[in-house]
Chains A and B, each alone.
Chain A
Amino acid sequence: MKNCLKVERAILNLTQDELAKKIGVSRQTINSIEKNRYVPSTILALKLSQIFNKPVNELFILEEGD
């Protein structure tokens, strides 16, 4: 699964740390999600969708094999 978190974060001009604080996780978690090392839970995905004001399936895109 890929995601466009980094792009969306850049649009809002947010650092990883600022975004992490907004949704109550660590900066490492945001970094891991951006680098596709970690797939977030539905709750976290919905929180991100709220912050970026975009539906979850536009933030996270399924790839072949998922």
Chain B
Amino acid sequence: MTSKSFIACERERFKNLEKLQLPYWMKKFGIGIAILAFLALFVNKFTADVPEFSMGVKYALLVGLLFISVSRDKIEDELITKLRMQSYTFAFVMGVVFTLVQPFVNFFVDDLIKPGSGLIKDTGDFEVLWMLLTVQVFSFEMLKRFYR
């Protein structure tokens, strides 16, 4: 394989990645999963508070949000693609800022409530992914409203 055809092959692969989107109905399915998971998480927190159940529901919540995030819109045109990219950029930056700042916020809040008890802990995977996905989904919907 020559270097030129290798580059062409890579380009084609990246082009195919652009089409990697779920159908529109998956968005509704994702919303359903996310709402149910959120309610289950809420109910579990104030009743039995089973950690294993909570973990499973958190995964379901992330899957639901991922479905919403990567599903096509009713009409997926170039404006929607542009807004989608903007929302991903915003979510990425917010995610990085959140990951960097959150441990210190936790530390200072802990220290305020119980002086001397504050510990600097890493932000958990769930928190980071939850933040990324919710910021992307909500900023995308907000951007769409601005352009309406």
Contact surface of A with B, Cβ cutoff 8 Å: 24-26, 28-29, 31-32, 37-38, 40-41, 43-44
Contact = CB atoms under 8 A, between A and B. Distances in A.
Interface of B: 74-75, 77-80, 82, 144, 146-148
Dominant secondary structure at the B interface: helix
Contacts of B147: 28-29, 31-32, 37-38
Contact of B77 (A24, A31, A37): A24
A25 B148 contact: no
Contact of A41 (B75, B78, B80, B148): B78
Nearest to B82: A38
A43 B78 CA distance: 10
Nearest to B80: A26
